[in-house]
Amino acid sequence: MTDTNMDGPATPQRKNSLMAPDARTKQRNAAEARFKAYGIIAILIGVFFLVVLAASILRNGLPAFTQTVVELEFTLTEEQYNDAESKVLKTAAYKEFLVTAFRENLSERGVEVPFDESAIDRIVGQAGNTLRTYFRANEDQLGQPVTFSLGASSRVDGYFKGRVTREDLSNSRFLNAEDLDIVDVLADVGIMKQQFNWTFVTGKDAGVDNPGGAGIGASVIGSFFMMLVVLMLALPIGVAASIYLEEFAPKNRWTDLIEVNISNLAAVPSIVFGILGLAVFIQLAGLPQSAPLVGGLVLTLMTLPTIIISTRASLKAVPPSIRSAALGVGASKMQSVFHHVLPLAMPGILTGTIIGLAQALGETAPLLLIGMVGFVAREYPDGIVSGFTDANSAMPAQIYTWAARADQAFYEKAWGGIIVLLVFLLAMNVLAIILRRRFERRW
Amino acid sequence: MNDMRKIERDVDMNDVKISAKGVQVYYGTTHAIKDVDVLIQDKTVTAFIGPSGCGKSTFLRCLNRMNDTIDICRVTGDIRIDGDDIYDKRVDPVQLRAKVGMVFQKPNPFPKSIYDNVAYGPRIHGMAKNKADLDEIVERALRRGAIWDEVKDRLDAPGTGLSGGQQQRLCIARAVATEPEVLLMDEPCSALDPIATGQVEELIDELRNDYSVVIVTHSMQQAARVSQKTAFFHLGNLVEYGETGQIFTNPQDPRTESYISGKIG
Ligand SMILES: Nc1ncnc2c1ncn2[C@@H]1O[C@H](COP(=O)(O)OP(=O)(O)O)[C@@H](O)[C@H]1O
Ligand SMILES: [Mg+2]
């Protein structure tokens, strides 16, 4: 396929009319059309997987945001309170009152169901304890009607969400088919219903036997403090290092070596940083275990190369003529960098930083090594300092812990946690876009 | 070639502003400037001409030490401005560049407003005591850059939004705003159309009243039109230096003659 027309002046060979494409043009057009088709196919495949992923995340995760509750108006008299508090089995006494209230409420509505103490255990779980805790804290509410929203047990919740069926229950000691009849009746009269699960969004992790009480809130706080550490350390250190390397450092063997090492660091598996953090920050430096501060330090190590590489790339992309212009009017090197080069590189630096932070936010392995596993997230921090130093978990580690638990209800929580994590990532990306728009300028 | 006769050159009675002796420039092992001696006068336009790659820009950059920013570049020899050795250890190149302004080949305004482009130099050198002062400096510079009338109503508009010729005049205004004593221009019109070129050339002729102007150009007509002195470079050597009229009408060196008559370059 040699092109004789290419060199030398055009010869009388070119006699074809422009109205019809010649063979070569047709061939090129066909190649272009083929390439476009491949591109569209590639994009469609990508979109397909994205849609499947998003759909399955939403299908599995959204139920975590609703919760089945038993809502009941309940009045505890002062005598009942004193009576219950004088007993040995105090919570059992409260439970009895509750069952009575249930029965009364149901018979008022003209519904007849075999409702007893063991049924309430299976359907509502530890209701007596909830009541006791409430009234001990609010003694002034005695004698007043109080509306309680008691979380249903995980199997009843699963029944509402379609996770548990009657067939599954044939030989379960936790819930049996007759209980489901009660549940159906309660749902019919509106005592039992689904509502938004604030506990999941704001709560802490709960024990393996209490999926209903488990929430991701505490680990969101853990993640937040870690990101704060990463941002406060990785951004200034990374940008300062990049500016020095790119604008000031002499180009010699040492700086070459540093450059190569930074690029290599970006490729080191995160778990390596985790064990490094365990050895250096916890064992050597004696920082507290499972603390977001240590997690943040480890993630800073991980994020630094990403920030440095992207910052250097955006500094490189600033046209040299801008630097010459600044130096030409007598600006010092530092003035030229800070007044002209850095503002122009800002959008790129921000993009790199957000990408680095997003990676850090989703990182699990190094956190497990320094003890930030999910079940640690049992308490909210008391303040800023304890937010950094108290044992806590992070979103991905919490999700990992839930996914590993036996109860199916925790599996649902794990998917719900993924949604929360993705919402955070999305928010960070939106922030990045907004910041980039603000800093973007033409040159 | 009427242009050449048109300009009756001033008799050069001006003081020497820049003196260069035995200047050598190396880029790594490349010997880019070979033993150049030249005396550049005050209140004069001096043109550097020569085939591309002969070292005009390199030599120009020696005069405000812009070569310092190129890692592999090494300059030796003696370059003095008003008798001060600018390569002396005590000389801060940043201070030098405020005194020796530069206009580049490609217009390179900052991606900021027209006002800020001009005000930047005076600001960093602390030349204005207050806003009114600065406004005055900016206006004066823009007038000197022969662009005031075109931009006075949109000083807040981005400098990068101007046409090429306007951008270059803005860059000239930016350079003169710091009150330099020498103005270096590296092919300032190579990116401009003939009308913009004419405006910039007129401007250069006016600037001669206040500054010593050194202009690199690949256009011999331009050299003939705007300069009083011309230096012809060839392969890193300064081949011939003298009155512009003299160089163009009666070159001493055969290389100059063949370049001017279009045989080399
Ligand atoms: N930054 C640089 N690095 C290496 N060599 C350079 C550099 N700038 C210029 N040179 C070399 O120096 C010589 C002179 O270049 P230059 O001064 O730009 O020529 P002119 O401006 O006359 O066209 C050329 O051979 C060029 O290759
Ligand atoms: Mg040049």
CB contact under 8 A, B66 and A325: no
B224-263 residues touching A, CB cutoff 8 A: none
Q: What is the DSSP string of A59-75?
A: HHHGGGGEEEEEEEEEE
Residue B94 at interface with chain A, using a CB cutoff of 8 Å? yes
Predicted local distance difference test score (pLDDT) of residue A91: 82
Predicted local distance difference test score (pLDDT) of residue B265: 53
Let me know if residue A43 belongs to a domain.
no
Asked if A260 and A174 sit in the same domain, the reply is no
Q: Which residues does residue A149 pair with via DSSP β-bridges, in sequence order?
A: A71
Q: Kind of pairing, strands B16-27 and B182-186?
A: unpaired
Superfamily of domain B2-260: P-loop containing nucleotide triphosphate hydrolases (3.40.50.300)
Query: How many CB atoms are located within 10 Å of the residue B203 CB?
Result: 20
CB contact under 8 A, B178 and A329: yes
Asked if A241 and A167 sit in the same domain, the reply is no
User: B157 to chain A, minimum CA–CA distance in Å?
Assistant: 12
**Nearest protein Cα to ligand 1, atom 5:** B27
Buried b (16+ CB within 10 A) or exposed e, A403-418: eebebebbbbbbbbbb
Write the pLDDT tens digit of every residue in A236-269: 999 999 999 999 998 889 999 998 999 898 889 9
Give the 3-state secondary structure of residue A168. Answer: helix
Query: How many CB atoms are located within 10 Å of the residue B192 CB?
Result: 22
Angle A428-A430-A433 (CA atoms, 0-180°, nearest 5)? 110
Residue B170 at interface with chain A, using a CB cutoff of 8 Å? no
pLDDT at B12 over 60: no
Asked if A331 and A428 sit in the same domain, the reply is yes
Predicted local distance difference test score (pLDDT) of residue A3: 47
Place of tokens 């506990």: A199
Candidates A122, A116, A66; CA nearest to A96 is A116
Confidence tier at B225 by pLDDT (50, 70, 90): very high
Please say whether the dihedral angle defined by the alpha carbons of residues A52, A57, A63 and A66, taken in this order, is positive or negative. negative
Q: Residues of chain B with pLDDT > 90: what percent? A: 76
Q: What's the mean pLDDT in B173-193?
A: 91
Residue B167: its chain A contacts at CB < 8 A?
Answer: none
Residue B104 at interface with chain A, using a CB cutoff of 8 Å? yes
User: A246 to chain B, minimum CA–CA distance in Å?
Assistant: 13
Predicted local distance difference test score (pLDDT) of residue A426: 92
Candidates B67, B69, B65, B49; CA nearest to B215 is B49
Confidence tier at B4 by pLDDT (50, 70, 90): very low
Write the pLDDT tens digit of every residue in B114-152: 999 999 999 999 998 999 999 999 999 999 888 999 999
The answer for residues whose C-beta is within 8 angstroms of residue B217's C-beta and 6 or more apart is: B47, B48, B49, B187, B189, B223
The model scores a pTM over 0.90: no
**For chains A and B, what is the number of CB pairs under 8 angstroms?**
71
Write the pLDDT tens digit of every residue in A20-65: 888 899 999 999 999 999 999 999 999 999 999 999 999 999 988 9
CB contact under 8 A, A324 and B104: yes
Confidence tier at B14 by pLDDT (50, 70, 90): low
Asked if A166 and A224 sit in the same domain, the reply is no
Let me know if residue A209 belongs to a domain.
no
Predicted local distance difference test score (pLDDT) of residue B149: 92
Predicted local distance difference test score (pLDDT) of residue A80: 85
**Nearest protein Cα to ligand 1, atom 21:** B57
Predicted local distance difference test score (pLDDT) of residue B8: 43
Candidates A302, A286, A282; CA nearest to A226 is A302
* Sheet-wide strand order for A66-75: A145-151, A66-75, A192-196
CB contact under 8 A, A326 and B97: no
Candidates B8, B87, B13, B7; CA nearest to B43 is B13
Asked if A363 and A222 sit in the same domain, the reply is yes
Q: What's the mean pLDDT in B66-75?
A: 91
Instruction: Tell me which of B252 and A189 has the higher pLDDT.
Output: B252
Predicted local distance difference test score (pLDDT) of residue B3: 45
A316-335 residues touching B, CB cutoff 8 A: 319, 321-332, 335
Distance CA A200, CA A283 (A): 34
Place of tokens 């030409």: A328
Asked if A187 and A306 sit in the same domain, the reply is no
Asked if A70 and A184 sit in the same domain, the reply is yes
**CATH assignment of the domain containing A258:** 1.10.3720.10
Q: How far separated are the first and last CA of chain A, in Å rounded? A: 44
Q: What is the DSSP string of B197-264?
A: HHHHHHHHHHHTTTSEEEEE-S-HHHHHHH-SEEEEEETTEEEEEEEHHHHHHS-SSHHHHHHHTTS-
Distance CA A390, CA A383 (A): 10
The domain of A284 spans: 217-439
How far, CA to CA in Å, does A357 sit from each of A219, A263, A303, A332, B64? 16, 18, 7, 33, 44
**Biggest alpha carbon distance in chain B?**
57
Residue A250: its chain B contacts at CB < 8 A?
Answer: 71
Task: For residue B36, give the ligand nearest its CA.
Answer: 1
Asked if A248 and A111 sit in the same domain, the reply is no
Distance CA B75, CA A180 (A): 93
**Nearest protein Cα to ligand 1, atom 2:** B27
Contact residues of ligand 1, CB 6 A cut-off = B 27, 30, 32, 50, 52-58, 70
In degrees and rounded to multiples of 5, residue B239 shows phi and psi of -80, -45
Q: Which helix (DSSP H) or strand (DSSP E) does residue A439 occupy?
A: helix A408-439
Question: C-alpha B255: how far from its chain's center?
Answer: 24
Distance CA A180, CA A165 (A): 9
Asked if A261 and A132 sit in the same domain, the reply is no
Predicted local distance difference test score (pLDDT) of residue A13: 60
Predicted local distance difference test score (pLDDT) of residue B61: 95
Distance CA A276, CA A334 (A): 35
Residue B28 at interface with chain A, using a CB cutoff of 8 Å? no
Asked if A317 and A388 sit in the same domain, the reply is yes
Give the 3-state secondary structure of residue B32. Answer: strand
User: B121 to chain A, minimum CA–CA distance in Å?
Assistant: 6
Instruction: Tell me which of A442 and B174 has the higher pLDDT.
Output: B174
The answer for residues whose C-beta is within 8 angstroms of residue B181's C-beta and 6 or more apart is: B17, B81, B82, B99, B100, B211, B212
Q: Which helix (DSSP H) or strand (DSSP E) does residue A312 occupy?
A: helix A292-317
| A190: amino acid identity, one letter | G
pLDDT in tens, chain A (443 residues): 444 444 555 555 666 788 888 889 999 999 999 999 999 999 999 999 999 999 999 999 998 899 888 888 888 888 888 888 888 888 888 888 888 888 888 888 877 777 777 778 788 877 788 888 888 888 888 888 888 888 888 888 888 888 888 877 766 667 777 788 888 888 888 888 888 988 899 989 988 888 888 899 999 999 999 999 999 999 999 999 999 999 999 888 999 999 899 989 888 999 999 999 999 999 999 999 999 999 999 999 999 999 999 999 999 999 999 999 999 999 999 999 999 999 999 989 998 999 899 999 999 999 999 999 888 888 888 888 888 989 899 999 999 999 998 888 898 899 999 999 999 999 998 988 888 888 776 54
CB contact under 8 A, B160 and A322: no
Write the pLDDT tens digit of every residue in A352-399: 999 899 999 999 999 999 999 888 888 888 888 888 989 899 999 999
Let me know if residue A15 belongs to a domain.
no
Total number of domains in chain A: 2
Confidence tier at B85 by pLDDT (50, 70, 90): very high
A interface test, pick of B63, B72, B97, B185 with most A CB neighbours within 10 Å: B97
Predicted local distance difference test score (pLDDT) of residue B5: 41
Q: How far separated are the first and last CA of chain B, in Å rounded? A: 19
Let me know if residue A39 belongs to a domain.
no
pLDDT at B218 over 90: no
ipTM of predicted complex? 0.88
Residue B130 at interface with chain A, using a CB cutoff of 8 Å? no
